A and B are shown apart, each in its own frame.
Chain A
Amino acid sequence: MIQPIYGVMAEFDNPSALVNAARAAREKGYRKLDAYSPFPIEELSDALHLHKNKLPLLVLIGGIVGGTLGYALQYFVTVMYYPINIGGRPLHSWPAYIIITFEMTILFAALTAVFGMLGLCGLPMPYHPTFNVPRFALASRNRFFLCIESTDPLFDRDKTCEFLETLEPREVSEVAH
């Protein structure tokens, strides 16, 4: 079912109020909610249960892939593709491979960290309903927002607004799609 609005949003002027509001909304049973702040807030992640994400695992895999590729590339070139016999020294000269293996590990892991982060966040996302709220521009300056989304089973246009009003926000507004 397509909801008429994206959700309702409350604006707070300090991080403590936002964290408390987020906790209250969770306690009330709301699950489809997101908070917006101009800087990362550790307690907010706790309140919204956001501590687990897949990024470390992805980066680990990226690093292992990068390192393996780096080593395999050097092995392939120096042992199979273009072997050079220099005074009978072994072709598989692994100590000389360490640096490039290391650099490729870091490169692939870092690329995975950045693109993985963008992927997990769903960025780039040029349009998002929250941008329809005029005051939301302040979310990147000095205001803190809590948005309860209309897809939440408990969501009710009027009741959710009333609930947000009890949290003493500066303002409650509806977020159009």
Chain B
Amino acid sequence: MANEPPVIDSPESKKIIAPGYTFGTITDQIASVVLTKKTPYVVMGTFAVAMGLLLIFLLAVGLLFTKGLGVWGLRGPTMWAWDITNFVWWVGIGHAGTLISAILLLLNQQWRNSINRFAEAMTIFAVACAGMFPILHLGRPWLMYWLFPYPNTMGIEPNFRSPLVWDVFAVSTYATVSLLFWYVGLMPDLATLRDRSEHRALKVTYGFLAMGWRGSAKHWAVYETASLLLAGLATPLVLSVHTVVSLDFTVGIVPGWHSTFFPPYFVAGAIYSGFAMVLALAIPLRSIYGLKGLITEKHLDNAAKVMMATGLIVGYSYIMEAFSAWYSGNVYEQAAMWNRMTGPYKYHYWVLIACNVIAPNALWFKKVRSNTVVLFIWSLIVLVGMWLERFVIIVASLAQDNLPSSWRVFESTRWDWATYLGTIGLFLVLFMLFIRLLPMISIFEVRTLLPQAKIKEDSRG
């Protein structure tokens, strides 16, 4: 076993990062984005737009607090609509970050090393955006601590048999573990920034955050154990989170929701949309900051392949969803499915089929995968498709449920749009601050990919 990995690794590592890098140049290139380089105008412009969207979000939330949930298009029977769609969409996007940082670490996929940092940051910010929606949807968001069990004078506790309470535990655990994992990964790089920065205030700040990390072999040994353990813990966690999200629906008896294959279907969809977001972020980042030697074509190619593979699973799930509705013999299930395809939401449905089932098949071709512009557009198509998927599952099922007399077609309001676009602003603002203030590529993990990092065993002394 001991001599197996090098045989696999040596040809691989040449492609993962461009040749000619040294420990020093890698450090300088990644750290310079934070420490010395001027912020490019494109980034400033995007940040201005993101900030504008964030202000719209604050406006929308302010209005929601003063007027109540009616400012969103929520009318019976559709009491969950964009809010929960956005929640599922954002949580799903987060999943790719954990997949890259944890599952690919356990699988010893070294290409993850240069994209895991910003993918994890993406996870945390996406979960933060996701968390907004259920909290805002509470009606009285300032009482959100009621979701957690705590000793209280009311003498009541959350209902632990409800998937909505499971969700509280799953998402808050996910957010906490992702944040910890991300921070632990950052520590050695924060030490690098501490040692590289010249400004006293920066030195103190990064030094404080690095907690006195000094790269001791004793520390590295424990650190590596901790990373592996965290990866091992995060792997089942990430699969559980979207499973629990899907249980919010499947445990309900609404036709179109009550189905056993939602957990794997949702997890695949989550990774699908998450990789789309990874690509949508990585492609502009690497060209703006000149990181094409570290985030190479190989990374984009691999991410595109994962995206296609999960896209095909999602496509299969759509087929199975329609098949099992028909095969169930249940008239309500059949009607719900038929309404999705031909009812008031038929455009949403067929656009999502085009985005999620037909579009990813273009990724079979290497030409498409190696063209970054096309790949960027494709990732946006997937993100739109996955948003529509959640919208159709949630809204189309609720708007036309068991009782035709209560049917009503959902109509979104401008505040639905404002809140949704606002969280995109929040995400981008957080993400761009991250890029400016912290190393977006894990410096120490990329160092391990260099051929120089291999220990030569000949001169034993």
Contacts and interface: CB of A to CB of B under 8 A. Distances in A.
Contact of A140 (B155, B215, B244): B215
Given A23-B460, A99-B169, A113-B233, A39 B160 contact: no
B195 A140 contact: yes
B223 A40 contact: yes
A37 B217 contact: yes
A43 B167 CA distance: 43
Q: Which of B22, B213, B460 has the most CB of A within 10 A?
A: B213
B237 interface: yes
Contacts of A159: none
B195 A124 contact: no
Interface residues on A, range: 35 or more
B188 interface: yes
A124 B226 CA distance: 16
Nearest to B204: A126
Nearest to A109: B233
Q: Which of B158, B170, B176, B453 has the most CB of A within 10 A?
A: B453
A39 B448 contact: yes
Nearest to B226: A117
Contacts of B3: none
A106 B173 contact: yes
Contact of A99 (B24, B240, B459): B240
Contacts of A22: 217
Contacts of A116: 226
A5 interface: no
B40 interface: no
Contacts of A77: 149, 157-158, 160
A128 B234 contact: no
B160 A110 contact: no
B455 A19 contact: yes
A97 B215 contact: no
B160 A97 contact: yes
B166 A15 contact: no
A40 B212 contact: no
A23 B460 CA distance: 8
Given A34-B217, A37-B217, A40-B448, A100 B160 contact: yes
Interface string A90-131: 000100110110111011011101101110110111111011
Interface in A25-74: 34-45, 48, 50-51, 53, 55-56, 59, 63, 73-74
A36 to B, nearest CB: 5
A38 B195 CA distance: 12
B359 to A, nearest CB: 34
Given A16-B459, A140-B192, A141-B195, A125 B218 contact: no
18 contacts: A16-B455, A38-B23, A39-B188, A40-B224, A41-B453, A53-B225, A77-B158, A82-B156, A93-B161, A109-B233, A114-B226, A116-B226, A121-B216, A121-B219, A121-B223, A123-B212, A123-B213, A140-B215
Nearest 4 interchain pairs by C-beta: A142-B23, A124-B211, A117-B226, A125-B212
